[in-house]
Chain A
């Protein structure tokens, strides 16, 4: 496994918002390297002029009428909230302490 590939895993893990242990990063670098080798066959296929499949069943998009429909009541929407404050989901601050002081 090259260091480059481990760095790639770290970069992608950050993009995915996924904390990985050092052992997980090592294992994943090897497995993903193997995986990408195994999908090389797909890359070798000539797809010149071929449209990608975006919808497996070809049908025109249907729009519903623009009517107000009942939605889930608030207590049901919030029933699984890990941390709740009044009728809100509570999360840590999305700004750093410095940004808050500047703001």
Chain B
């Protein structure tokens, strides 16, 4: 087995036993990227030299016998909306095409502290707005399972990079499903932590009350390791939670006998693929056989999440994106007066989806409409939160499909925003409620594409989600760790 095919935990063990060096590991992934990236196009920026510098540094420390973090020397990729000092951070937007942050995001500081070499910045839908990574101003990313399909979005670059073994681990951001939906489409594990668990300092803001950084991996153990690195209180993020952070990876065993699980009713008449529903039920049966108590439930507010989300997120985005005016950073289209400079810079710098959301958001916040749209959506958000609170009085966690269907074709939904938004329908409510939520592979569809199930838990219960994901991994013979398709070694499609 080649090094790039191994999980982060396996590589960590090899490093610990001195059977391999970090430089060898990083070089293995560099070689892999050189072969498959031309086909997948997961990256916006590629940083092999600095990754090797970090790898050498870690190898030297290990030679000196210094104590290392378990992930020291294990490479990682990061979504290109997370600030990296001295490395271009574009949000896949023309308006930030040449932006070089003067500081690191809190999660980047954590990765550096752990000694993790950064192999590059991954593609996304512009400013994380989208569900297919086709809204990138630079290029679309392709699904490693079938290059005609989308990898999901907005963190499609990170998901595709992990699924195609270009990196063992990656970070994405999830505003309304942007970690979980691409994890499902690419057959890997993706976690949206509790809102506030991971600092948003240095994450370029889309919708501040929803944005959350989350890890991608091929196994639950790897996910737990990376979550432990990036979690924790940060004074620079006023929404950061002061709660202590468990070592999520230290014990992933769970006794299912005491678990009460609410199985969310999802029906073909609502657009759910029958094979997706069957895969969910199969995973529920594994848990039931192990002694968990499974009961079907319906969440009455589930259909309202989409509307509430697509009022709240654009409203916050229209405010957050006000800072792109050509004055301090980014694209600048000079004009006769300052208003034309602002307007032309923004008109030329933003792509169609970002403009659409700015217009919707500004409309929803404008005088006369605020109460009817934004305020009403925030009240509906309260009702959604209450429904979860009630559900979690009865159940330890909720289980359902991550997406109604497997990945769709590139270009299939790009001209129909409302259809595109529906691919996140299962993910939005958890984001609105601020609860942790994880997608884990559930099998392979007859089309050859992976499917995922979504597990949701009360705030700060990421550990339970990871334990269940670990349990299912052990029992699911179809658990797809890597794409079944053969990537052409030359990298041509």
Contact = CB atoms under 8 A, between A and B. Distances in A.
A82 B334 CA distance: 10
A17 to B, nearest CB: 4
B336 interface: yes
Given A15-B366, A92-B338, A51 B347 contact: no
Contact of A47 (B306, B331, B383): B383
Nearest to B434: A56
Contacts of B311: 39, 42
Nearest to B339: A17
B359 A9 contact: yes
8 pairs of A and B residues whose beta carbons are closest in the complex? A19-B347, A82-B332, A52-B378, A56-B434, A80-B329, A76-B102, A42-B307, A47-B379
B235 interface: yes
Given A8-B363, A13-B359, A61-B238, 19 more contacts: A20-B355, A28-B356, A35-B418, A38-B418, A41-B307, A43-B376, A45-B304, A47-B383, A55-B209, A56-B434, A57-B194, A59-B242, A76-B102, A79-B100, A80-B99, A80-B100, A81-B328, A89-B327, A92-B334
Select the residue from A19, A28, A61, A79 with max chain B CB neighbours within 10 A.
A19
Interface of A: 8-9, 12-13, 15-21, 24, 28, 31-32, 34-35, 38-43, 45, 47, 50-57, 59, 61-62, 64, 72, 76-77, 79-83, 89, 91-94, 96
Nearest to A61: B238
Interface residues of B, number: 73
B418 to A, nearest CB: 6
A49 B377 CA distance: 14
Contacts of B100: 79-80
A33 B209 CA distance: 26
Contacts of B332: 82-83
B458 to A, nearest CB: 12
Contacts of A32: 356, 359-360, 363
B338 A82 contact: no
A32 B102 CA distance: 37
A89 B235 contact: no
Interface in B266-302: none
B368 to A, nearest CB: 11
A103 to B, nearest CB: 15
Contacts of B356: 28, 31-32
B338 A12 contact: no
Select the residue from A21, A39, A79 with max chain B CB neighbours within 10 A.
A39
B451 interface: no
B380 interface: yes
23 contacts: A9-B359, A16-B318, A16-B358, A17-B325, A18-B346, A19-B343, A24-B352, A24-B355, A32-B360, A41-B307, A47-B382, A50-B382, A52-B375, A52-B378, A53-B432, A57-B239, A62-B242, A64-B235, A72-B102, A80-B329, A91-B341, A92-B334, A93-B338
Contacts of B230: none
B185 interface: no
Contacts of B380: 42, 45, 47
Contacts of A56: 195-196, 209, 385, 432-434
